[in-house]
Amino acid sequence: MRVISGKYKGRRLVSFDADHIRPTSDRVKESVFNIIFSEIEGAEVLDLFSGTGNIAIEFSSRGAKNIDAVELNKKSLQILKKNIDSIGIDNIQVMAKDVFKFLSVAGKSYDIIFIDPPFTEKIADKVMLALKDSRVFHPNTIIIIESSKFEKMDLEYLPLKCYDQRKFGDKSVSFFRKAEA
């Protein structure tokens, strides 16, 4: 894994092998960031299931103002903190929390929300159901969720509506916004 673009371009990131972990590939990451490029500078970002920090660090490198990285797995948290410290990043806040509990109590809204749940757990639908009832998004928030292309995902989680969906091998990346009233 590496940082693709921005001020930390080319920096290698530490990862680890585990059945439930499938870091976002460079190809998928580059495509996603090309789609949302104009929205990143100065954005408040929420990275759910942050893992080892691959996405959070890419957002920081590309000019996001602040990134809240939510992760519960202890080994992932250790590597996430190591990756942040090795580069010297100061705008990523690591939160050792369960994503569902976080969504149920969070009061801050974000400009961009990136969600990459554990690939083997097939919980993308469950995450979107929790997200739609939370207070973490505003009318212009972009929500990006990565899932297995074989996993059930609706195109609407009112008030959220899918406006773009891309397939990459066995992965699907869906983009949501709040639907017009």
Whether 160 shows a pLDDT value over 90: the answer reads: yes
**pLDDT for 4-46, tens place per residue?**
999 999 999 988 766 556 667 778 889 999 999 999 999 999 9
pLDDT (mean) for 154-165: 94
Q: So where are the chain's domains?
A: 38-178
Specify the pLDDT at position 20. Answer: 53
Between 15 and 98, the higher pLDDT residue: 98
CA angle at residue 134 from 130 to 168, to 5 degrees?
Answer: 55
Whether the CA torsion 124, 54, 140, 72 is positive or negative: it is positive
Q: Which CATH superfamily is domain 38-178 in?
A: Vaccinia Virus protein VP39 (3.40.50.150)
Residues 134-140, mean pLDDT to the nearest whole number = 96
pTM to 2 decimal places? 0.95
pLDDT of residue 19: 55
CB 52 within 8 A of CB 152: no
> Whole-number mean pLDDT of the chain?
93
**Rounded percentage of the chain residues whose pLDDT exceeds 90:** 80
pLDDT at 181: 59
Report, as an integer, the average pLDDT of 108-125: 93
Q: CA angle at residue 28 from 159 to 25, to 5 degrees?
A: 125
Q: What is the rounded CA–CA span in Å between residue 154 and residue 3?
A: 31
